[in-house]
Each structure stands twice: as structure tokens, then as C-alpha cells.
Amino acid sequence: MSCRNRVAQAVGGAVIFGAVLMAAPLGAQGLTGDDGARPVSLREAIELAAANSPAAVSARGLDRTASAARRQAIGSYVPNVNLSAGTGRTQGTTINNFNGQLTSLSGNPWSYTNGLALNLELFDGGRRWSEITRIRATADVADVAAVSARFDASLQVKQQFYAALAARESAAAAKAQLEQAEQQLKASTARLAAGVATKSDTLRSTILVGNARLAVLTAENDLRVATASLTRVAGSTTPITASPDDTLDTPLTLPTDVELAMLANDGPAVRLAISNAAVARAAKRSQKSTYLPTLTMGYNYAFSQNAGGFVGRNLLLVGGNNASRQTMNFNIAYQLYNGFSRETQTVQADVTLTNAEAQLRDVQLAARQNLTSFVRSLQNAQARVQVQLAAIAASEEDLRVQQQRYALGASTLLDLLTSQTQLNQARQALIQARLDGRIARAQLSSLVGREL
């Protein structure tokens, strides 16, 4: 090789290496990807979501509403009580019925009345009892909805939390890839300067460095997106991110297939559908009471007094020599015809029940389907993790051998780059397998309503 060619190669290698160094700030910018977010543990993120997520807040409001409705339904068996007090002044003239002349009103112009009234529905065709049953079923719906909302919020948090962890792992793998690529670029540049490598080696090494830097940027961007999503689903007013210390998986041993099937059949979604069907069933029974008569009782106890002028103490006629009247009455009512409104409401109640039962059946089938899907996904991910761990160990050893062979000139740069690519792919596959396993376990926990 002529001296001119060697000088040209050395200059070309120096220019390429300098260009890579000029691009270094691009990959160094924002290597953390946290943007000042506060690191939190998974447990803390779940607690934030349980307190702040709209579904959890709505479930708590539904529980309060159900408690108030239950109190009202029980109170319908207690008589309604009304107290009244009033006064009035009457003056003027009236026509005498005997001579047709106007005469002034006589007697005391001021009148005072006090009254106590009680009303109670004695018979309503079972409507109130059916209403209590419906309210109890509604309360069960509220309780199950709260559990379901808690696990739904937990699942959303886990998905974004694990995505942030996967992004961190991808960033670490990309940085290791970048470090290897930069070392390889230095080696190929030195070999080019020594005249034992071609310019193509340095060009390929430069491309490898650029790809590694892009991988770092992509991973950091994924971390920012996962951090923003985690902040939202946790309902935090300040940015939060997955704590780097919370990366170790300590999963519990899964129950047997039979136990999982029983848990899934009693999961939050199934229980919610069962409670909704119970509410529809109670509403249908309550609607039947409209075809029966109602029996009500009323009781009134009234005091009255007259005076020539306004007397403040007469506003409350308790004790003393006051006129009084007591009245008790019973009333039976039956609605013969109301424009087919009862029939329409009966059909609506029956349709609602039919829909609720169909929804329950579908939810139970969906629980079985999801159980199979989640369990198999988890098992598949666990197997992939073991395979990729072995693949990484083999790829690292293969890369080490190829680096030694390339340094001795026994292999080409293409062989070395192939080994590096295989190692990078194995690392990414391991990260994806771990993420898939974490997500599958989180979905399984949400399905059965129990941390697994």
C-alpha cells in the first residue's frame, strides 16, 4: 500500500471519528428522561390512584348515595309527622241573611291554630319491601363497584409503571450498546490508521454508533411518555415516575387452575354483573305492586284559639283552655286505568332484567376467556424470560470471541457486527418478555380481584 493511500485512510478515519464525537451531545442530552419527576414506588402510585382516580371517586359517591337510599327506604315504614302553627286576622262586613243588610263581623278578629298530623301507608302491595330489596342490591353494586374501580385503577397504574421500568431497562441496554459501538469505532479507526482495515469498517462502526444513540433517545422518550401517563392515571398534581429501586419482581406463587377459575368466577366484574341483575329483579317485583290497592291512615290533632288582639304566646297553644279536635281517617285507593303506563313500566322492567341476565352470562364467559388468555400469556412470558437470559449469556460470550478474532484479523467486521446485533436483540427481547409478564400478572390480579 502506498504512503499516499495510508495518509488518505488515516485522514478519512480521523474525519469520521471527529464527526461521531461532534454528534455526542445529541445522545448525551436528557439521558435520565425523568424531567424532574418525583420517583415513587408501585404501592404509593396505586394508593394515589385509589384516592384520586375518577372511577374510584365515583364509586365512593355511589356508596354514599346507596346508604342514603337505604335509610330512606327503611324510613318509609315510619309515619310522616308534620307540625303546624298559624295565626290570622279577620275583619270586614257580611250580608245579613234575614234582612239583606250589611253588618260588621262580630267576635274576636284574631285566630290561632296549632296542629299535629301523622300519615302512614299501611299497605302498598309490597312496594316498600321490594324497594328495600332493590336498595340493598344497589348497595351491593356500590360495594363491588368500589372494589372494581380500585383494581381497574391499580391495573392502569401498573401498566404505566411497568412501561416506565421497561423504558429504563431499554435505556440501560441502549447505553451498553452505545458503549460497545463507540469502542468498536475506536478500534476500527485505529486499525484503519494502521492499514489493517478498510474504510468500510469505520463507516459501519459509525452507523452502529448512530443507531445506538437513536436507541438511547427512543428509550428516554418512552420513559417520558410513561412518566406522563403514570402521573395522569395516579391523579398526581406533580409529575411522578417509577422508582428505579422498585425493579425487582417478587411475585407470589399462582394458585392452581381450579382455584383461579373459582376466583375468576367471583371476580369484581362478575360480582358487579350479579348485583346489577339482582337490582333489576327487585325492580321488577316492585313494579308488580302497582296492580294492588293502597291503604293509608291519617291522624290530625289540632288546637285553636281566638283573641281580640295579637298575643304572641298564642302562637304555641300548649296547655291551657284551648279548643281541640282529633281526626283519624283511613283511605283505600286503587288505580283502575292510567293510560297503560303500568303495562309499559312492567315491560321496561322485564326488558331490563333480561338484559342484565344476558350481561351476567357474557361477563362470566368473558372471565373464563380472559383467565385462559392471561394465564397463558404469563406462562409464555416467564418461559421467554428464561430463554432470553440464556440467549444473552450466549450472545455476550459470542461477542467476546468475535472481538478477539477481529483483533487478530481472524474474522471480518461483519461477523462482529452480527454478534453485537444478536446481543442487542436478545436484551430487547428480555425487556419485552419481562414487561409482558408483569402486565399479564397485573391483568390476572384485576380479573380475580386479588393481588397475585
Question: What's the CATH number where 434 sits?
Answer: 1.20.1600.10
| Band of pLDDT at residue 34, cut at 50, 70 and 90 | low
Task: Classify burial at 87, counting beta carbons within 10 Å of its beta carbon; exposed 0-12, middle 13-18, buried 19 or more.
Answer: middle
Quote the cell numbers at residue 358. 344476558
The reply to whether 421 falls in a domain is yes
Integer angstrom CA distances of residue 89 from 108, 111, 311, 317: 9, 6, 12, 17
Percent of the chain with pLDDT over 70: 88
Integer angstrom CA distances of residue 88 from 249, 309, 325: 81, 11, 19
The reply to whether 331 falls in a domain is no
The one-letter amino acid at 140: D
Integer angstrom CA distances of residue 267 from 147, 258, 292, 365, 383: 10, 14, 39, 12, 27
Among 190-199, 414-423, 438-447, which stretch is predicted with the lowest mean pLDDT?
190-199
| Band of pLDDT at residue 67, cut at 50, 70 and 90 | confident
Average pLDDT over residues 55-76: 86
| Calculated CA dihedral for residues 19, 22, 26, 29, nearest 10 degrees | 150
The reply to whether 327 falls in a domain is no
Quote the cell numbers at residue 56. 374510584
**Is the model's pLDDT at 331 over the cut of 50?**
yes
Model pLDDT for residues 355-396, shown as the tens digit of each residue: 999 999 999 999 999 999 999 999 999 999 999 999 999 999
The reply to whether 36 falls in a domain is yes
The pLDDT, as a whole number, for residue 247 is: 61
The reply to whether 289 falls in a domain is yes
Q: Is the dihedral of CA 92, 95, 98, 100 positive or negative?
A: positive
Pairing between β-strand 38-40 and β-strand 240-242 as defined by DSSP bridges:
parallel
Residues contacting residue 202 through CB under 8 Å, at least 6 positions apart: 12, 13, 16, 17, 185, 188, 189, 192
| Band of pLDDT at residue 351, cut at 50, 70 and 90 | very high
Rounded Cα distance between 306 and 321, Å, is 11
The reply to whether 319 falls in a domain is no
**Is the model's pLDDT at 284 over the cut of 80?**
yes
Q: What are the backbone dihedrals phi and psi of residue 312, each rounded to the nearest 5 degrees, phi first? A: -65, -35
The pLDDT, as a whole number, for residue 231 is: 92
The reply to whether 350 falls in a domain is yes
The reply to whether 115 falls in a domain is no
Specify the length of the chain in residues: 452
Collapsing DSSP to helix, strand or coil, 240 comes out as strand
Do 192 and 9 meet the contact criterion of CB atoms below 8 Å apart? yes
**Within 13 Å of residue 336, how many CA atoms lie on the same side as its CB?**
0
Least Cα distance to 32 among 220, 304, 187, 274 occurs for 220
Residues contacting residue 383 through CB under 8 Å, at least 6 positions apart: none
Residue 257 domain boundaries: 3-79+126-294+340-448
The pLDDT, as a whole number, for residue 381 is: 92
Integer angstrom CA distances of residue 447 from 49, 362, 373: 18, 15, 11
Q: What is the number of domains present in the chain?
A: 1
Residue with cell 302512614: 120
Least Cα distance to 295 among 330, 262, 321 occurs for 330
Average pLDDT over residues 47-59: 87
